Structure 1
Amino acid sequence: MTIFTIDKVRKTFMNGEMKDEILKGINLSLKEGEVTALVGASGSGKSTLLTIAAGLQPASDGKVLFEGQNITAMNQEQVRKIRASKFGFVFQFAHLVPFLTVEEQLMLMLDVADTKLKKRQQKKEIAKILKLVGMEHRKDAYPASLSGGEKQRVAIARAIIHKPKILFADEPTASLDSKKSKDVMLLIRDLTKMLKMATLMVTHDEEMLSYADHVVKMRDGLVQ
């Protein structure tokens, strides 16, 4: 089932007196339980498209529809609420809070998402998610004691703890070696299907494309 649609999205920046069109009318649909990978050379527009889809910057034209709602027509507060409660984010680096334990990282996300779960319920949900990502034995650890792969697993757990509908992943394996990259991609693929999310991922690593259900190639602001 399609739950997210990018409809004729354009993005233009002013470069002095010249217009620089980064996205030239992109159409894309995301379905629950599927991973869609965006690939292309640097400057092709893939990261710009991801940030517009995630509501992190506005489109110059076109629409972004989530479950039938036009995100591009919403005000900043409405978009913020959707991002916090319905979207999850994984980036190249884990960006964990250094003074919070693994468990506390996830508690913070539950508070940001305003899930209204009581502390006991939070701990129960966190235990489930940490078990899913193989990090239940590290719940009391601080980021400084975690390996790169472990940090990214915690980042993934944090991204899905509030049960988002859409997962946005921007180069999630770029800082990892090939073994850890494959482990992380397998985890993202399996969680996408298990939790019936739709995942939109930007990657430059062609080896990771085998884990995607759909591969979208971008060049010069267009889908090829």
Structure 2
Amino acid sequence: MTTFTIQDVTKTFTNGEVTEQVLNGINLSLHEGELTALVGASGSGKSTLLTIAAGLQRASDGKVQFDGNNMTAMTQEEIRKIRASKFGFVFQSAHLVPFLTVEDQLMLMLDVAESTMNKREQKEEVAKVLKLVEMDHRKHAFPSSLSGGEKQRVAIARAIIHKPKILFADEPTASLDSKRSKDVMTLIRDLTKTLHITTLMVTHDEEMLSYADRIITMKDGLIG
């Protein structure tokens, strides 16, 4: 099922008298339970496309539709609510809050997503998701005691704790070694399937492409 559609999206940046067209009319549909990888050289527009799809910046022209709703016409507050409740994010760095335990990182995300569960239900849900990513034994640990791979697993758990429909992953394995990269990609792929998430990932690592259902190559702001 198609959950996300990008139609004729362009993006132009202006710096003084210099104008640069970063995206040149992108059309792309994303589907439930599918992991789509965006690849391309630096400057090809892949990260710009991901941030526009995620509502982190606006397109210069075109339309971004999520669940049949035109995000392009929404206010910043409406987009913020969608990001908090319907989208999940995994970045190159885990960006964990240093003074919160693993459990509390996920509890905080539930608060941001305005979960209707009470605290007991939230803790039960957190325990379930941490077990899913094999980090339940570390729920009382602080980020400083976690390995790079463990931090990224917690970041993934935080990204899915509120049951998002879309997962945006921007270079999720760039800071990891080969083994940990494969572990993280296996986790993202499996969660995409089992939770029926629509995943859009930017990566420059060709070894990670084998985990994707679909590979989109970008060059000079166009899909190749």
Which TM bucket (shorter chain)?
A: over 0.9
Which residue number corresponds to residue 62 of structure 2? Answer: 62
Letter in 2 for 1:177: D
How much does 1:18 deviate?
2.8
TM-score w.r.t. structure 2 length?
0.99
Once residues 28 and 187 of structure 1 are traced to their aligned partners in structure 2, the CA distance between those partners, rounded to angstroms, is 25
Which residue number corresponds to residue 170 of structure 2? Answer: 170
Once residues 187 and 103 of structure 2 are traced to their aligned partners in structure 1, the CA distance between those partners, rounded to angstroms, is 19
Once residues 207 and 147 of structure 1 are traced to their aligned partners in structure 2, the CA distance between those partners, rounded to angstroms, is 22
Q: How does 1:1-224 map to 2 (within 5 A)?
A: 1-224=1-224
How much does 1:43 deviate?
0.2
Letter in 1 for 2:25: G
Once residues 140 and 185 of structure 1 are traced to their aligned partners in structure 2, the CA distance between those partners, rounded to angstroms, is 25
Unaligned ranges ≥5, structure 2: none
How much does 1:66 deviate?
0.2
Show CA shifts across 1:44-67 (max 9, x none): 000000000000000000000000
How much does 1:83 deviate?
0.2
How much does 1:15 deviate?
2.7
Once residues 188 and 29 of structure 2 are traced to their aligned partners in structure 1, the CA distance between those partners, rounded to angstroms, is 19
How much does 1:209 deviate?
0.3
Show CA shifts across 1:142-193 (max 9, x none): 0000000000000000000000000000000000000000000000000001
- Match of 2:108, SS state, is helix
Letter in 2 for 1:205: D
Percent identity over paired residues: 78
Show CA shifts across 1:122-151 (max 9, x none): 011001100000000000000000000000
- Match of 2:41, SS state, is coil
Once residues 8 and 198 of structure 2 are traced to their aligned partners in structure 1, the CA distance between those partners, rounded to angstroms, is 20
Once residues 192 and 72 of structure 1 are traced to their aligned partners in structure 2, the CA distance between those partners, rounded to angstroms, is 26
Unaligned ranges ≥5, structure 1: none
How much does 1:116 deviate?
1.6
Deviates more, 1:58-67 or 1:10-19: 10-19
How much does 1:19 deviate?
1.8
Count of residues paired in the alignment: 224
TM-score w.r.t. structure 1 length?
0.99
Q: CA RMSD in A?
A: 0.5
Once residues 175 and 17 of structure 1 are traced to their aligned partners in structure 2, the CA distance between those partners, rounded to angstroms, is 37
- Match of 1:114, SS state, is coil
Letter in 2 for 1:48: T
Letter in 2 for 1:144: S
- Match of 2:137, SS state, is helix
How much does 1:42 deviate?
0.3
